[in-house]
Structure 1
Amino acid sequence: MLATAAPTGGIPRDGDRWAYEVKWDGMRVLADVRAGAVTLLSRTGRDVTGTFPEFARLGEVHADVLLDGEIVALAEGVPSFEALGERMHIRDARSAALAARALPVTLMAFDVLRLYGVDLVDRPWQERRDALDRLTPSGDAWLVSPVYPDAEVLLAATEEQGLEGVVAKRRGSRYQPGRRSPDWVKHAHRRTQSAAVVGWRPVEGSTTRMGALLLAVPDAAGVLRYAGRAGSGLTAGMEADLRRALRGSEVATPPLPGIPRVDAAGATFCEPGVVVDVRHLGRTTAGRLRQPTLRGLRADLGLADLREE
């Protein structure tokens, strides 16, 4: 279940009908625990259990539970997607174990969908939340995301503390797997957009080093449109991850219309499929992202997950 963006008037302010949580800046997962075995699934259904071996401890504490939550990496007490990016793409078991010790992560659980063999999906949010609150978090493997009754106070606090934003949840709502529902409404303090990589331009004076990515975002009809290029934030580590992800996707001509000649000159084009996150300052009249800064590769998202935020 996914949240919809808050309308112009902001998130609902009725604390009797709505509850408020922090919008965590991380990687959404389902943690499925059965008979001591733990399986982690990303939003796209990809098995990422091996990437985060520390969550095997969930199976030592809970016999049967299905948790919905966000994996976060903390940097100076604040969730950092950039820090999490160092963990998201690891597949090798030995490397994953070393990374778990060097850069620990935490699962912030905000919903429980099954407990002791009982399916809770059709239960109201408040009932599911009460069940989640009765569970004992297993040390630093997972924590319960706090709930707050006052939207204004949480909005102000999260902005002051540099957190991503706030999610409002209707207390009487059922869980709708895979759907983006108006029963969950999100407000982000900073503009973030997931975009498809459709090419890259080299650093000036080089033909091999990446200098900027060419990006595309779906419009209201779901058609990919060129959204500009982004080079700020492109680190050596991110470039290495991108090269692995883009290998074999290169094409001879632009994969979509509308890429200006100044951006297309000297570029290497690729079929849309790889997704990155960018922060930006809005859109130009031509639909380009203003001053985009790359945050990292989204291995947990695909083209079907993209929408204009």
Structure 2
Amino acid sequence: MLAVTGTLPTDPSRWSYELKWDGLRIVAGIDVAGIDVAGIDVAGIDVAGAQSAAAVRLVSRNGRDVSVSFPEVVQALTDWGRRTATSAVLDGEIVATGPAGTPDFGLLQERMHVADPARAATLARRIPLTYLVFDVLQLGGVDLCRTPYDDRRDVLDGLGLAGGVQVPPRFAGSAQAALDFTREHGLEGVIAKRRDASYRPGVRSDAWVKTRHLQTQDVVVGGWTAGTGGRSTDFGALLVGVPDGDLLRYVGAVGTGWTDAALRATTATLAGLATPSAPFRELPAAVARSGHWVRPVLRGEVSFSGWTRDGRLRHPVWRGFRPDL
């Protein structure tokens, strides 16, 4: 279930307020021997795991099994399943906490796309993560999707999740107080959830309304420009667009927001996606002359200060690749 973007509803008797987390959306399936988590359709994602004691599967929003990348989350959920002898399907976000004590998506990105268990274990020690669970869709083989939000939250609060898997509290107060709190603490925003709403797998529903403090935009990478100076061995900027039929509509060049390690890794990834023709519908002449083109398969997110009159991003900053889009 996905939220719509809009103005937060202000009636706390009908709406509950949660912090919006800057992380990776994950549905977790926990199988306990004799209880199967299959039979629930979460955005078309099969969350059924192997039929063994407390088998755990982590699935991203686009249906990819990412269990190997996050071994500490798998272990924490496995321990919970063994301790409670209960199967479950949970929905939440995996987040990394930066030096400022707030979620850091750039840090989280270093943990993504890791297919080697040994490397994933090493990264888990260096960059610890937390799985913040905000919904329970199935428990003990019982489908809870038709259960009202308030009742699902009561069930979730009683599960006893701890350690690297936590249930973040709902915000006690008004919508404006939630907005003020998240702004003051450098958090991404607030999401309001209608108290009587069911969970609708795969649906973007106005029963969930989100508001962000930063303007962000999902983009597709269609090319890059060469770097200069200290970045002469890496790309200078990514050329990005948004889908427009079979091609992309160009929205700008993004040249900031990477660590040195991310620059090197992204440069290597771009080299493997080279294509002779631009995937954009139209391009400014200067960009057309200087661009190097890639197959439009990489999706990411940028923050920006606004749009120009000709539909370009103002002051875009790269926030990270989004394998969940």
TM-score normalised by L of structure 2? 0.87
Residue in 2 that maps onto 1:15: 12
Quote how far apart the aligned CAs of 1:271 are: 2.0
Map of 2:80 onto structure 1? 61
**Mapped pair 1:141 → 2:152:** no
Instruction: Specify the SS of the correspondent of 2:110.
Output: helix
Deviation of 1:196 after TM superposition, in Å, equals: 0.2
What's 1:215 paired with? 240
- Tell me the matched-pair count: 296
Structure 1 position 192, deviation (Å): 1.3
Q: Does 1:42 align with 2:60?
A: yes
CA 1:170–1:224 in 2, change beyond 3 Å: closer, same or farther?
farther
Give the residue type in structure 2 aligned to 1:5: T
Structure 1: give runs of 5+ residues left out of the alignment.
302-309
Q: CA deviation at 1:64?
A: 0.6
SS of equivalent to 2:287: helix
Tell me, in whole angstroms, the C-alpha distance in 2 between the residues paired with 1:243 and 1:40: 28
Correspondences of 1:1-309 after superposition (within 5 Å): 1-6=1-6, 10-35=7-32, 36-55=54-73, 56-62=75-81, 63-75=86-98, 76-138=100-162, 140-148=163-171, 149-204=173-228, 208-218=233-243, 224-301=248-325
Q: CA–CA distance in 1 between the matches of 2:184 and 2:295?
A: 40
TM-score, scaled to structure 1 = 0.91
199-208 or 183-192: which moved more? Answer: 199-208
Report the 3-state secondary structure (helix = DSSP H, G, I; strand = E; otherwise coil) of the residue aligned with 1:96: helix
Q: Is the 8 A contact 1:211 1:234 kept in 2?
A: no
Question: Is the 1:245–1:274 Cα contact (8 Å) retained in structure 2?
Answer: no
Give 3-state SS (helix, strand or coil) of 1:87's partner: coil
> Residue 40 of structure 2 aligns with which residue?
none
Per-residue deviation at 1:222? 9.4
Structure 1: distance between partners of 2:286 and 2:169:
48
The offset of 1:265, in angstroms, is: 2.0
Separation in structure 1 between the aligned mates of residue 199 and residue 276 of structure 2, nearest angstrom = 44
Partner Cα separation in structure 1 for residue 72 and residue 129 of structure 2: 8
**Structure 2: any 5+ residue segments left out of the alignment?**
33-53
SS in 2 for 1:251: coil
Once the two structures are TM-superposed, the CA of residue 143 in structure 1 deviates from its matched residue by 0.8
Question: How well do the aligned residues superpose, as a CA RMSD in angstroms?
Answer: 1.8
Amino acid of the structure 2 residue aligned with 1:146? P
SS in 2 for 1:158: helix
Contact 2:93 2:133 in 1 (8 A): yes
Which amino acid is 1:66 matched to? Answer: V
Q: CA deviation at 1:264?
A: 2.3
1:215·1:230 contact (CA, 8 Å) conserved in 2?
yes
Cα deviation digits, residues 101-150 of structure 1 (max 9, x gap):
11100011100000111111111111111110111013x22111211242
The answer on whether the counterparts of 1:4 and 1:184 sit within 8 Å (CA) in structure 2 is yes
SS at match of 2:313: coil
Number of the residue aligned with 2:41: none
Q: Per-residue displacement from partner, 1:12-43 (whole Å, max 9, x unpaired)?
A: 00101110000001000001111211110000
Q: Check conservation: 2:238, 2:255, Cα contact below 8 A.
A: yes
Distance 2:246 2:225 in 1: 26
Superposed CA deviations along residues 81-105 of structure 1, whole A, max 9, x for unmatched, are 1111111132211110011111100
